[in-house]
Structure 1
Amino acid sequence: MALRQGKRFLWGIAALLLFLGGCVTAPPPVKVIPGASVDTLSSSVAVSAKGRGHSGSAHGFLLFQRPNRLHVVFLAPFGSTVFELFMDDDRLTCLVPDKKTAYAGRVTELPPGDYLATLRLMRWVLARPPVPGPSLGAREMESEEFGRERIFFMDNGLVQRKVAPEGEEVIYRDYRMVDGVPFPEKMEIHDGKGGEVKITFEDPEVNHPIEPDTLIAKLDGYQVLPLVLLQGAP
């Protein structure tokens, strides 16, 4: 009797799981939304980068606000901040909290292939996507950032890859709908000079308000040095 009751219980659990599985709402289809764009972005991220003899990876948090304001926090395994960068157009400020040292200057002061300089491309990477034409595949299009660029579209009209005249390139992977905007959860960015940054976004939020002061470096108590002196950033 106990054995039969145990089997019935297990069958009941299995039936309940099948029922609940059938009730799970399917994710919305990813498709082109005319006019949809990323004006603000906040997300936990996993970042790997290489360039100019350095390579590394870290988890952290990223904030972006159009047109080109960026804040990235790199965290140690136990959650403490090991490195922060702030970008406002072409102005870059990097903080090393444990040394109370900051490095500030223009991105153009960094040598070619420095992966920190690769992040200057985020404005281009997150630019408003073009509307696909009647034929997909590759198309030459005007670019606000570079004048001209070559864009490769997927069959559903979403952008798969962009290439700029000097070899700058971004590849988009794993699109899903985020807050009504088709958003790629993985991006691979190349600066055409050896710098490379790969970003995986975890639980991104698109077009939510961002507090203005979170995009400003707090330099009280920091020694501020020229950006060109920065070495061995994560």
Structure 2
Amino acid sequence: MKYTRVAALAAIGVAATLSLTACGNDDGSGNDSSSSKSSSSASAPSSSSDGASTSDGTSKPQAGNAKSGSGKGTEAGAAGGTAKSGGKATFCKTEDLAIDATDAAPDKTSGRINVTMVNRGSTTCSATGFAGVDIKDADNTSNPIGRGPAQPRITTLKPGDAAVFDLAYTIDNSGHSLSNPTNLQVTPPNETHTVTLNWPAGAGKIKGAYTDVEVYPTHTTK
């Protein structure tokens, strides 16, 4: 009887040991799987929306970021424009220009005076821009004329070439105009010397004040 009880207790102990071993193996398997996943996650390279990932987990800039903030293209364009402007002709001198004014009104209400400047010098010159113009009245007062809404055009004159600029105003047909112009005082673009011309014969009276007259930029006659 003692032998049978001892044998039974031994068998129970073996079974318990086997059961514990099996449980231990199940827990170990779960830990190994979790550890493997964690290790895999840690070793994977990190990504960034700002750039591509490298093998050490850092991010490098994309090619597009390297282009931002570059102004070399704009600077090169500006430099090119400056270089081209260096080859322009010098401005025409007043003493080298034959200047005359004529009435060129297209109708009975639109007043227009054409001022022609002929290059009588021996070299090519530029008459680009707005001429300075004052209208002298019979009472010996002078009134500067404002610029019309137009952009200057390149006006280069070879010897013998002509440039024209216009004065525009509204003609007063009422017979009650207060203006009585006698002369035009003209200063060519980028010059300081002035010539005095007679107010064109037959030109209509100016409606309003002299400040209502506008001068437009020069252009070639070709």
Per the normalisation by structure 2, the TM-score is: 0.29
Question: TM-score, normalising length from structure 1?
Answer: 0.28
> Rg bigger for which structure?
2
Higher strand share: 1
Query: Larger % of helix: which?
Result: 2
